[in-house]
Structure 1
Amino acid sequence: MGKVRIGIIGTGYIGNVHARIFAKDERAEISALYDIIHEKAEKTSRAVGGKVCRSREELFENCDAVLVCTPNKTHVEIAVDALGHEKHVFCEKPFAVGLESAKVLLEKAQNSKCKFQVGHNRRYAPVYVKLKEILQSDKPHSAHIKMNRGELKNPAWTGDPSITGGFLYETTIHLFDMIRFQFGEISELVAYGSQHEYPELDEFSIIFKFKNGFHCTFASSSDASWLFPFERMEVFFHHRTVLTQEMEHLIDSNGMDANFETFSWAMLEKEEKWGYAQEDKAFIDAILEDKEPPVTAFDGYKSVEIVESVYKAIRLGEKIVFY
């Protein structure tokens, strides 16, 4: 196989992030672009190349792999269509909105001969890779996790649940995937939510229990502030605390005194610091080496399951048990 021909559907912010990365990969080329706002695709093409297509069908005719970088609620329909055209698929998070549509896409992806990868980029971020290394050599007891935003106004659609599927799908799902990646499968959860600033539940407090006995608290606010770090994991061990600060730093305090060691990735380019470059490389690796991508359709499905379970727990006022 020669260069992997990449087609990108949706040339907004994240579509352009991926476009710039793939344009630098000698094993790939940007071959086709499609956006319902034609001018946006033309602008991307001027920067990274690629044929500007007038339809999805035209894009499918000019690529080997499709990146789904469109609004959340369109992901399933586009990804299923791409798989039907026998294209490898990289689907930005969320994998789907709602469990029923997630089940449809999961079945299609698992029955396809093509590769399917979900864009949970934080798994590749060096700060979380380092945390994973620590967890493999020491056993944690519990954790406190925070995933906040300062607002849902920029861009405006982030505050529109008819587009996002809800706040948990837009932002919090990143760390829902991360806790499963770091700590294992969830056994049960209880959740509380309230509505303050936006026309949906926008404040959440959750307690997770995992099948291995680990447990954690999880807070997520849509309108707290952008105070650093808006995203944080504090993991507690025997006489040890490991603290992450967004994708910038990891602080490891090991022992019975106040000493600590700091690991920093602050000087990395954002594409590498946030894991975008690594996940895109992994997608091309999976295609060329005919292997399973690191973040599978099943992983994407499980993140949707967590979101829906939190909403259900709040709606019913009951503990949710995972079987």
Structure 2
Amino acid sequence: MPNALRIGIVGTGGWGTHIAEQFHENPDAEVVALTDISDANRERAGEVLEVDPEHQYEGHRAMLEDEELDGVQISSPHELHYDHAVAALDEELHIFCEKPFVPDLGRARELTHRIETSDQVTMIGYQRHVNSAYVETREAVTSGDIEPKLVTAELTQGWIQEVSGTWRVDPDLSGGGQLYDSGSHLLDAIVWMIDEIPVAVTAEMEFVTERIDVQAALTVRFDEGTVASITVSGDAPDVSERITVRGDGGRCTIQGTGWSDRELSITDTEGTEVSAVSEELSSYDKVDAFVQAVRSGETPPATARDALYATALTEAAYEAARTGERVAVGIESSDTAPSS
């Protein structure tokens, strides 16, 4: 593969290897090295990705120092993303970082500002930014065809059963529970699609341990007056997602069961369908988008700033659940526009 992007994988658990396979299969990329503290993970991923043992590392710094890389995939536990991203930026590497970016607002803000003043491409693994159902909803809003007033959204899955016994239920590694995990996709998608800044949130949550939530109900107010009612359940019998954006001009509804297919219906104020989309929600698309962004030098579809907004909203929601009060979302004026 001449001139293929040389990618190092940081974190080779089940999902990390799944994403890495997509780099491995991409004709414009090549997985040349990997790192994980788990011997079993490294050995398994090395076989799947065809990475020889001499290019497998227990520590990420050794891989970054010893290998000739163009970029890294960061798919380590959430709380390690910051250190791994900083190390990659120090080596002037492009970064594909799995969501939820950094589960701490201060570190997320610091890292976002550093990314925006670098020459490297950093993309966050929010695949809804490259799915037509969500893209067309955003375009309907930004074009003025629909002026949002109310968003209702829900995401359900049997998350707590699936992640029991893994690092995802260790808050020192995960940063939180279901809201910081799959729920992050939903929060990010809403903020991005309606193109408004969340300013305040109230929340009710059910916790299985002190810091691991399994269900959450949020009411969010945005800076232009839109209100969102968001429900995330990690203790449900099925996987489902539904988002409806209502306002002047009509309604956009995205829905789907499972993790793949998503359908969009856009209706006018009379209830007549004016547009419909059905497309697979694929993680391959976000890997392709990252590679293309590096090749072209263009801004990737899901940026660190997008992820910063999701982090700010998530952190405020946890505080609101703990205190029982309405909490201001900690987005500062410097967070609302890219650094020059």
TM-score by length of 2: 0.82
Write the letter of the residue equivalent to 1:235: V
Deviations 1:5-46 (A, max 9, x none): 011111122222322222222221111112222332332232
Matches of 1:40 and 1:111, distance apart in 2: 34
Query: How much does 1:255 deviate?
Result: 5.4
Structure 1 SS opposite 2:160: coil
Task: Report what 1:188 is aligned to.
Answer: 199
1:53 aligns with 2:56: yes
Task: Report what 1:40 is aligned to.
Answer: 41
Task: Report what 2:308 is aligned to.
Answer: 301
Structure 2 SS opposite 1:202: strand
Matches of 1:151 and 1:282, distance apart in 2: 27
Write the letter of the residue equivalent to 1:71: P
Matches of 1:303 and 1:257, distance apart in 2: 31
Matches of 2:62 and 2:225, distance apart in 1: 51
Task: Report what 1:221 is aligned to.
Answer: 233
Task: Report what 2:148 is aligned to.
Answer: 140
Matches of 1:287 and 1:23, distance apart in 2: 16
Matches of 1:26 and 1:171, distance apart in 2: 29
Task: Report what 1:270 is aligned to.
Answer: none
Query: How much does 1:238 deviate?
Result: 4.9
Instruction: Report the CA distance shift for 1:114/1:238 in structure 2 as closer, same or farther (over 3 A).
Output: closer
Q: 1:175 aligns with which of 174, 181, 186?
A: 186
Q: 2:262 aligns with which of 235, 248, 251?
A: 248
Query: How much does 1:203 deviate?
Result: 2.7
Segments of structure 2 that go 5 or more residues without pairing to the other structure are 333-340
In the comparison of the two structures, how many residue pairs are matched? 314
Matches of 2:245 and 2:133, distance apart in 1: 13
Deviations 1:34-71 (A, max 9, x none): 22223323322323323442232342232210110111
Instruction: Report sequence identity in percent.
Output: 26
Instruction: Report the CA distance shift for 1:237/1:11 in structure 2 as closer, same or farther (over 3 A).
Output: same
Structure 1 SS opposite 2:101: coil
Write the letter of the residue equivalent to 2:192: F
Q: Which segment is superposed worse, 292-301 or 169-178?
A: 292-301
Q: 2:91 aligns with which of 52, 60, 85?
A: 85
Segments of structure 1 that go 5 or more residues without pairing to the other structure are 266-272
Task: Report what 1:288 is aligned to.
Answer: 295
Matches of 1:286 and 1:257, distance apart in 2: 38
Matches of 1:117 and 1:305, distance apart in 2: 18
User: Which of structure 1's runs of 4+ aligned residues deviate more than 6 A?
Assistant: 258-261
Task: Report what 2:15 is aligned to.
Answer: 14
Task: Report what 2:29 is aligned to.
Answer: 28
Deviations 1:175-226 (A, max 9, x none): 1111111112234323122335444443322222222222221112221331
Matches of 1:98 and 1:181, distance apart in 2: 20
What does 1:263-282 align with in structure 2 at a 5 Å threshold?
A: 263-265=277-279, 273-282=280-289
Query: How much does 1:239 deviate?
Result: 7.6
Task: Please tell me the root mean square deviation across aligned C-alpha atoms, in Å.
Answer: 2.5
Q: 2:321 aligns with which of 297, 302, 314?
A: 314
Query: How much does 1:75 deviate?
Result: 0.8
The answer as to whether partners of 1:144 and 1:234 remain within 8 angstroms in 2 is yes
1:161 aligns with 2:171: yes
Task: Report what 1:208 is aligned to.
Answer: 220
The answer as to whether partners of 2:88 and 2:95 remain within 8 angstroms in 1 is yes
Matches of 2:126 and 2:44, distance apart in 1: 26
Matches of 1:220 and 1:4, distance apart in 2: 37
The answer as to whether partners of 1:68 and 1:90 remain within 8 angstroms in 2 is yes
Structure 2 SS opposite 1:314: helix
Matches of 1:97 and 1:15, distance apart in 2: 18
Query: How much does 1:115 deviate?
Result: 1.9
Matches of 1:240 and 1:113, distance apart in 2: 41
Matches of 1:311 and 1:56, distance apart in 2: 31
Matches of 1:195 and 1:213, distance apart in 2: 28
Query: How much does 1:306 deviate?
Result: 0.8
